[in-house]
Each structure stands twice: as structure tokens, then as C-alpha cells.
Amino acid sequence: MSSQIESEPALTQDSGYLEYSKAANPLASGSISPIPIVQFPASLHASGPSRIIPLDISSQLGSSAPASSASLLASFLRINPNDSLATPNRATSHLLYAIQGRGVVRFSDTVIPYQAGDLITLPCGPDPVVSADEESIFYWVNDEPLLKYLGVTASHQRFRPTLYAKEESQAALAQAAADPLAAQRSRISVLLTNTHFPQTLTITHVLWAMLGILPVGANQLPHAHKSVALDLIISCKPGCYTAVAEKVDSHGNLIDPIKVPWESAGAFITPPGWWHSHHNESGEPAYLMPIQDAGLHTHLRTLDIQFHRSNVV
């Protein structure tokens, strides 16, 4: 069997060489764009036909396909009563949080009933189909951009379809809030996990999800992590916000923070590596669900979560 020997020009035409200082930090030099702070209002899904509403910043990232960060794509799903919507499955991990509504999600031969407050995770496989008995809104996050970057397709299911029922997640959060040590912790929340991932302790091997309550008068200390956060605000009143800054001073205060107001059923992006803190000046408790690519970062040992002026997690 003969093999073709490539000529030297063909083998070397794509090679290149850059002096170290000009290429060591592509983000600082501007050859790759940073992930921005972006808000996505609830008005995006308030009315209209059944549809997928990508929270797409690909033009800002220089990506050729829809993306909400380098590795994740978030979307709102709107499904009108007695209608169905198929969601393309081009990822290893899907997270669907039911903001409102009631119906079923069909995944192959599995039928998963849902109500507002339920969360469903799905692996790669056939396209999930959401069928709504009532007007339904979902927050859908998957890792399709990561696979597109790697040039691969998902073929092996790392976990089974899993339901996190509202009653169970709310009970777990209430238990965390009732803990006598809750007031000493940086936040009152529960992490949603899957038994298939005992090392990363995350909801999938890529995705990380937290259900949290922000009590009245809460002013959290700043923290930072290398994972991106695609934050969903489940419910709040005016007066809740996140303060975000690239750096903190020696006392742990945010330097020139950007204020991101919260809105019920709205979402926003917290850039990876930026310091941020959550605040509730509304007079009523607020609920949030950040979704991150922290499963992947934890596996890579690159999460690097930091809590300034506090060792209490």
C-alpha cells in the first residue's frame, strides 16, 4: 500500500512563530475578545409564538455560531398552551429550568412531567420535545459552543435524564436557610448534583447549578471564579442587584463596580474571573439560579474560586 508524501511547502504553509511577549496573553493583547456583562430582559419571552430565543453574543466573541460564552449557550424557550417545541441536541449536557408553566418533556422513550420550579438535565441523544399544557417558559443552557470549538460531536451519554423537582429543591434550600450556621456563611444556597460526578460534585460533567436565596438586606462579600456565570433571576423585587468589577482593592472592595439590576425571569452574564457580589435592598427575599461551566473547570482544576476577606464558604 503506497502513501502520498506531502511536499515541504504543503506541510509548512500553516505554521507560524510569534515572539513570546506578543502572544503569551491573547486576552490582554486583544487577539481574543473578553466575555462581556450582558443583560437579557424577561420581555424577550413575554409574548409571541412558540420559539427558541438564543441569548447570543457570538458577534462580540468572534464566534461563528450562537454562544453566550466561550463554552455555553443559554436560551429562553417559549411554548404556548397545547403546543410543542423541539430543541436541537448538539451538546453533551442540557439544563432546562421551568420558569413557568406545566407540561411534559419527551426525550426518546422517557416522558418527564414538569411544573414551574422544576429543573431537568438531559444528555446527548435525540432532540428533546417540550409539550406545554399551560403557557411555559424555560431557561435552557447547554455546552454546544464547547463542542463546536473542539470540532467534535457528542456520542456517549455521561448521565441519565434527571428531574430536580421543585418540592425537593425548595426543601433542600429551606433546610440550608434554617441551619444555625447559615448567617455565618457567604451565601444561603444549595448546589444541585448528580451521583455520576462524585469528583466535581456538579449537576453534569460540564455544567454547575446553584439554587440560592438572597435574604432581605443581604450584602454579600465579593467573590470570583474562572467559570462564566449565566445567571437566571427566578424572582425578585426592584432593589436587588449584582455589583461586578474586574478587580478588588486591598480591603476587598470592588474597584469601579458595574451595577447589574435584577429582574424576575431575566438573565445576565457574569464574566469569568471578575469579582462580584449580590445585594438585596428590596425588602423581600429574592431567588436566583446561576449556571456555570464549573463542572469542566473543576475537572481541569482551574476553577480558582476566591472569597475575599473570608474563608467561610
* Count of structural domains, the chain: 1
Residue 131 falls inside a structural domain: yes
pLDDT of residue 313: 52
Give the mean pLDDT per block of 10 residues along the chain (313 residues).
70 94 94 98 99 98 96 99 98 99 98 99 99 99 98 98 99 94 84 99 99 95 97 99 96 96 99 98 98 99 85 47
Residue 19 falls inside a structural domain: no
* Spatial separation of the C-alpha atoms in residues 139 and 75, rounded to whole Å: 6
Q: Tell me, what CATH number does 162's domain have?
A: 2.60.120.10
DSSP line for 285-303: -EEEEEEESHHHHHHHT--
Residue 9 falls inside a structural domain: no
- Whole domain around residue 141: which residue ranges? 35-307
* Spatial separation of the C-alpha atoms in residues 191 and 212, rounded to whole Å: 9
Place of cell 441523544: 125
Place of cell 450562537: 66
Residue 312 falls inside a structural domain: no
Residue 232 falls inside a structural domain: yes
Contact 213, 287 (CB under 8 A): yes
pLDDT of residue 3: 62
Compute, in degrees rounded to 10, the torsion defined by CA atoms 203, 233, 141, 226.
-70
